[in-house]
Structure 1
Amino acid sequence: MAWRTRIEPFTRPLFFAFSRATRGMTLGVRAVAVDDRGRVMLVKHTYLAGWWLPGGGVDRGETCLDAAARELFEETGLRATEPGRLLSLHSNERFFRGDHVAVYRFEAFTPGDLTHHGEIAETGWFDPLDLPHDAHRSTVARMAEIFGGAPVDPNW
């Protein structure tokens, strides 16, 4: 899916313009799935560089918790068997004016089939304090907050 990586810089501004015109605020979620060895699940998208926490937008009529569980399943195949726990809420003004991101932690899940429809290039379990060199800046920051004792930054 290298073509998605190449066209993303052109399609993303159109998506943002449409989103800005149709809604005043956007809300996203990220899921921190922690296995019994203390590792976290990360994903590589076909259209973004680096390793990210699984996540995406909250759909109309959906709770943040439900969106986080849905995105976790769609992007990794991990089906939450217990509700996640809200860890933090961040403003994402740097990336998109009016955007907010809620971060949930999941510790109980079962593996299932992937349903990401070509959106995810790779998944992997990682030590949260020893991330791959190309982990996204936001992933590194959240892991430092959750597992390293860093103060929570209200900005994404």
Structure 2
Amino acid sequence: MARLRTRLFRAARARWTRVAKGMTLGVRALALDDEGRVLLVRHAYTSGWHFPGGGVEIGETAEAAAVRELFEETGVVAEARPSLLGVYFNVAFGGRDHVAVFRFERFSKGPQPRPNSEIAEIGWFAPDALPDGATPATRRRLAEVFQGMEADGRW
């Protein structure tokens, strides 16, 4: 029951944010391990596999938010500053949202958090063997990195 309340609260907060606030900024962390695998998470409150990430808090830089979200959701600790892959317009999130994607290449894998009300599953995947349900935006970002596909600025 508590898990359902948490999921409903997060969904309601996301809807309220879309309507009541101005532009929003989210971040995603594209982490590649030494074997060339990419880190993805499956959220408990929405479908699909995504890069770890979330919203930028008041007073926080986008880079700091990406480092924080990467750790909170996966236990991965950045050991060097990430590079900015790009900033994308997320038309599906109320027409006011942007997503900054940071690429992490130096990090350590700490203890992986247990599944919880936010993150249902964490996995490392080869870019050419993504799990069913990897989101179109996730697939586009990986195609930009690994196949040289040109970005169009949309999430």
TM-score by length of 1: 0.87
Secondary structure in structure 1 of the residue aligned to 2:73: helix
Could you tell me which residue of structure 2 aligns to residue 28 of structure 1? 26
Distance apart, 1:124 and its partner CA: 0.6
Distance between the aligned counterparts of 2:122 and 2:114, measured in 1? 13
Q: Report the AA paired with residue 142 of structure 1.
A: R
Conserved in 2, the CA contact under 8 Å of 1:90 and 1:155?
yes
Q: Report the AA paired with residue 121 of structure 1.
A: A
Write the mapping of 1:1-156 to structure 2, written as runs, cut at 5 A: 4=4, 8=8, 12=11, 15-21=14-20, 23-113=21-111, 114=113, 118-156=117-155
Q: Report the AA paired with residue 151 of structure 1.
A: E
Distance between the aligned counterparts of 1:131 and 1:67, measured in 2? 25
Conserved in 2, the CA contact under 8 Å of 1:73 and 1:115?
no
Secondary structure in structure 2 of the residue aligned to 1:15: helix
Secondary structure in structure 2 of the residue aligned to 1:44: strand
Distance apart, 1:135 and its partner CA: 0.6
What runs of 5+ residues in structure 2 fail to find an aligned partner?
Answer: none
Distance apart, 1:123 and its partner CA: 0.5
Secondary structure in structure 1 of the residue aligned to 2:40: strand
Distance apart, 1:150 and its partner CA: 0.8
Q: Report the AA paired with residue 35 of structure 2.
A: R
Conserved in 1, the CA contact under 8 Å of 2:91 and 2:154?
yes
Conserved in 2, the CA contact under 8 Å of 1:75 and 1:116?
no
TM-score by length of 2: 0.88
Secondary structure in structure 2 of the residue aligned to 1:74: helix
Deviations 1:55-97 (A, max 9, x none): 0000011111110010000111001010000011100122222
- Of all paired residues, the percent bearing the same amino acid is 49
Q: Report the AA paired with residue 133 of structure 2.
A: D
Secondary structure in structure 1 of the residue aligned to 2:66: helix
